[in-house]
Homo-oligomer: A and B are copies of this chain.
């Protein structure tokens, strides 16, 4: 068993990723921007999950600070901000697809469409590529 002292905080890939997006709200924000076309604050707020405004604002700020999300004035409405994914954020598509694949297998109330689940298992690389191309 690899032993690491707590002094060696850096370098572990699960800790690194987990510290950035390893919480339910960050995962739902990533879901909404990747798969539900959420682009504005209100889209995330009204995604039906009951996220509070302060948690949403703090998660969006954190994901922006970590280089996952971009935030820019919306050219169509200067009073609003438009959120997007950086390349680092788009790089999380395979992580979310794997979670979807796992849930499709184990959640007996899954709403993952069968053809999506099949594409995930049979031609994963193409699905990753196509999903990222749409972002």
Contacts of A27 in B (CB 8 A): 14, 17-18, 22
Is A56 engaged at the interface, CB distance under 8 Å to the other chain?
no
Is A80 engaged at the interface, CB distance under 8 Å to the other chain?
no
A107 to B13 CA separation, bound complex (whole angstroms): 8
- Given A4-B47, A6-B48, A17-B99: A110 in contact with B28 (beta carbons within 8 A): no
- A1 interface neighbour in B36, B88, B110, Cβ under 8 Å: B36
Q: Shortest distance in angstroms between A64's beta carbon and chain B's nearest beta carbon?
A: 15
Is A23 engaged at the interface, CB distance under 8 Å to the other chain?
yes
- Given A1-B43, A6-B49: A99 in contact with B14 (beta carbons within 8 A): yes
Interface pair A17/B49, CB less than 8 Å apart: no
Interface pair A111/B12, CB less than 8 Å apart: yes
